Structure 1
Amino acid sequence: MGLIFKLIAGIVVGSFIGLYAPHWVTQLLLTFKVMFGQLLFFTIPLLILFFITSGIASLPNNSGKLLGRTLGIAYLSTIIAGVVAFFAAALIVPMLATENTDVAGITGVVLEPFIELEIPPVFGVMTALTLAFILGLGIAATGAQTLKALSDQGRDIIELLLVKIIIPLLPFYIAGVFAEMAAAGSVFETLKTFGVILVLAVALHWLYIVTMFVLAGIKAGASPVKLIKNMLPAYFTALGTMSSAATIPVTLQCAKNNNVDDDVANFTIPLCATTHLAGSTITIVSCTVAVMVLHGSLAIPSFITIFPFILMLGIVMLAAPGVPGGAVMSAVGLLGSMLGFGETAIALMIALYMAQDSFGTACNVTGDGAIALFVNEAAPETKPGDNEPS
């Protein structure tokens, strides 16, 4: 939660600097923003490669139907959540923004960084994603322990970079973005839309949670209200930890309190913690629409355009790191390659997402409990290891 307050402070301080500080102060902050952005975009393909390779290679391969059923329900849940979020945001956000809103349009002062440093990524996002699937599936099929260890160690290095450098410096990066917008005269419209989209995202989270547990309650013959009540400890724990992985012990107990079989819960909850990101998808898709409304050079895409993005989003966030903002960091490459987001638009996306990351994570883990119920009711006789050779 401290990160959220730091990000809010970054927005406020950056806006104040852009409005009232001497230009050289804003330029100094802008210089940091540009250099940090180069490091960030250099890291994204490596994050995708190592985390997805490690995640696929680590999936249990001896659980047969239970594994396929859990992954199928988790992916379908994530896609449906993204589709609903797109239609809701595309309908509501443009109605609340002024006609001439454009954070890229300059009405104030155009400032340049003191120095610029270009750090090209080693490879593109789609190359990283394709390579990750080839290696991950290959490791799972052949049991290549050396490559498995390499992917795990690469994941640990990138996670350390995120935790020790990128995440702590994000507030300064966001401050630079808002200082630039404040100097340009577009910061107040941006902040207004921020408030709208945060409220919309949390409302959509709860619409998703209620819908999932109504369906699960019908399937299990239980009260949806009671099922949701039993999951509330996991929801509030996730608000504080901002990590699905860190919340697993509480989520596991909550699922068992909803009469999910112990073996099914022990299998589905840890798996969904890294593969089910419906809440994060809701936030990313709704924030994407908001940034497009704010950014005059980006038009809100049609459903035909956004649907492949949502499908890829459900894949690229697979095994997203258990650190704040892991989902949006994984999605940054897709925003640029599939939707044409530039650095300013991506910075706005990161700020919007991080401001409510805890609510998205809470929605993810609560939904994990619903998926455990679906899996439990679909094949209660199926247990992990049923397909193991005797």
Structure 2
Amino acid sequence: MKRFGLLPRIILAIALGIILGSFSPEWLIKLFATFNGLFGNFLGFAIPLIIIGFIAPGISSMGKGAGKLLGITTGFAYASTVAAGLLAFFTATFLYPILLKNQSFKEFENPEEALLSPFFQVDMPPVMGVMTALLISFTLGLGLAAIKGNTLQNSMNDFRDVIEKLIEKVIIPLLPVHIFGIFANMTQGGQVGAIMSVFAKVFVMIIALHIIFLLIQYTAAGSVTKTNPIKLIKNMMPAYFTALGTQSSASTIPVTLKQVKKLGAREKIADFSVPLLATIHLSGSTITLVSCAIAVMMLQGQTASFAEILPFVLMLGVTMIAAPGVPGGAVMAALGLLESMLGFNETMIALMIALYLAQDSFGTACNVTGDGALTLLSDKASGKDKKAQPRAVKAS
């Protein structure tokens, strides 16, 4: 199963959930509903730990190498991530009323009533609320960046490693089972047809947005370097397809670095910017998260206004630095915001995870390919007289 990637497992789980949910006895569906309840409660317990475990050491590590190049690169990464989120929002707002017309759970007075309830539940209350975890993360991260001591920093790094293992060894392996249970339950409730139709349409729109945003990024990079943007993108294709296979920006760093240097970026700039951007620049993932979130809200008969989405996107740009280097890391880091800012419940979160993971590799490939454009922009903005730069933080 280790060689059977996450994406095939997710697809298999969805297919089996639909097939078995159409004829399985009620007790079997309730058994998986019980697992879903336990897993969902555990996920709620883990969300504040994930936030603290990744955001605090991420912010503190960025600050320790503070300098002109760090500020420029981080600024470009944040602007790119926010712009990607807003592009996804405006596109979804325009297209979804057409693409997803009459595809919602409005026919159910209460969507939860269409799903079988579990045999029993076990409460797993989180140690703190999501906003408290975010505030603690920012306080610790900025504080650690300002002081010279390493004791707490090392402790936070160890805590991050523990949470990484939790995600990689427990949460991610159990996600296919969770998604299987959700789809089996929705199938017996008569809801799965709308879901699968939405999956297909949202998937196509997201891939199109990835391509459009890469063209925007490389048009900007090409204009400052006076190079054909199509040639720049073509040169980054090895990194794109490597990320498509590994589903990890960190694992693709050697290939990304090699191709970025071929674009003409100075070696010292590339050596600093590429590992840093692999950690903090997730424009492709943000496009996916915003697109999927709005789709899930529409399935529930809800609407997303600009006033609701803008704070979410702005916070998402910061929270993305918490995304660990495992498949699905971005959606794991974003669960707290989905819950606290957009009001996602357990069913909505499960649908969000399934939608996101179905195209996670494409989002990662977009992230990695865009790193080349941002490195060229950082190179141009940093000026010609560059002294040796500090090494970038370790990509997560």
Shorter-chain TM-score: which interval? over 0.9
Q: How does 1:1-40 map to 2 (within 5 A)?
A: 2-40=5-43
In the other structure, the counterpart of 1:112 is: 117
Q: Runs in 1 of length 4+ with deviation above 3 angstroms?
A: 60-63, 106-110, 382-387
1:323 pairs, out of 326, 330, 355, with 326
Give the C-alpha shift of residue 45 in structure 1.
0.8
Q: What letter matches 2:216 in structure 1? A: T
Cα distance, 1:190–1:127 mapped onto 2, change above 3 Å: same
Are 2:147 and 1:181 equivalent residues in the alignment? no
* Partner of residue 368, structure 1: 371
**What letter matches 1:374 in structure 2?**
L
1:385 deviates by 4.6
Which deviations, in whole Å up to 9, do the C-alpha atoms of 1:213-241 show, x marking residues without a partner? 11110110111111111111110000011
Code of the aligned partner of 2:253: I
- Measured after TM superposition, the shift of residue 11 of structure 1 is 0.8
Amino acid at match of 1:26: I
2:269 corresponds in structure 1 to 264
Of stretches 321-330 and 140-149 in structure 1, the one that deviates more from structure 2 is 140-149
Superimposed CA distance per residue, residues 15-55 of structure 1 (whole angstroms, 9 cap, x where no aligned partner): 22221100111011111111011111111111110111111
Residue in structure 2 matched with residue 253 of structure 1 by the alignment:
258
**What is the CA distance between 1:139 and its match in structure 2?**
1.2
Unaligned runs of 5+ in 1: none
- Aligned-residue offset at 1:280: 0.4
Percent of residue pairs identical: 51
CA contact (8 A) 1:108 1:183 kept: no
CA contact (8 A) 1:81 1:279 kept: yes
1:165 paired residue number: 170
Q: Distance in 2 between matches of 1:279 and 1:81?
A: 7
Q: What's the counterpart of residue 203 of structure 1?
A: 208
- 2:80 counterpart residue number: 77
CA distance in structure 2 between the partners assigned to 1:84 and 1:210 by the alignment: 13
Q: SS at 1:59's partner residue? A: helix
Q: Partners in 1 of 2:234 and 2:254 — Cα distance?
A: 17
Q: How does 1:306-321 map to 2 (within 5 A)?
A: 306-321=309-324
Whole-Å Cα distance in 1 between the matches of residues 159 and 310 of structure 2? 31
3-state secondary structure, aligned to 1:121? coil
**Which residue of the other structure, out of 35, 51, 56, is the alignment partner of 1:53?**
56
Aligned-pair RMSD on alpha carbons? 1.8
Shift of 1:136: 1.2
**Secondary structure of the structure 1 residue equivalent to 2:350:** helix
For 1:264 and 1:104, how far apart are their aligned partners in 2? 56
2:347 is aligned, of 344, 350, 361, to 344
CA distance in 1, matches of 2:205, 2:139: 38
1:60 Cα offset (Å):
5.5
Q: 1:146 to 1:17 in 2, by over 3 A?
A: same
Change (3 A) 1:107 1:320: closer
Q: CA deviation at 1:108?
A: 9.1
Provide the residue aligned with 2:393 in structure 1: none
- Map Cα deviations across residues 268-301 of structure 1 (whole Å, 9 max, x no partner): 11111111110000000000111011112xx222
Match of 2:154 in 1: 149
Q: Work out whether 1:238 is the aligned partner of 2:252.
A: no
Deviation at residue 158 of structure 1 after TM alignment: 0.7
State TM-score, norm by structure 2: 0.94
Matching residue of 2:394: none
The alignment's TM-score, normalised by the length of structure 1, stands at 0.95
Provide the secondary structure at the position in 2 that maps to 1:115. Answer: coil
1:287-342 deviation digits (Å, cap 9, x = unpaired): 0111011112xx22211211000000111111410001111011111111111111
1:213 aligns with 2:218: yes
How many pairs were matched up?
386
In the alignment, what sits opposite 1:301? 304
| Alpha-carbon distance in structure 2 between the residues aligned to 1:37 and 1:13 | 20
Secondary structure of the equivalent of 1:20?
A: coil
Q: Which amino acid in structure 2 is aligned with residue 186 of structure 1?
A: Q
Question: Retained in 2: the 8 A contact 1:93–1:196?
Answer: no
Q: Per-residue deviation at 1:101?
A: 1.9
- Cα deviation, 1:235-268, whole Å, max 9, x if unaligned, reads 0000011111111111111100001000000111
Distance 1:384 1:334 in 2: 39
2:382 maps to amino acid: A
Aligned partner letter, 2:340: S
Deviation at 1:109, TM superposition (A): 5.6
CA contact (8 A) 2:268 2:388 kept: no
**Paired residues for 1:260-299 under 5 Å:** 260-296=265-301, 299=302
Provide structure 2 residue ranges, at least 5 long, that are not aligned to the other structure: 391-396
SS at match of 1:238: helix
Distance 1:104 1:88 in 2: 26
Matched position secondary structure for 2:102: coil
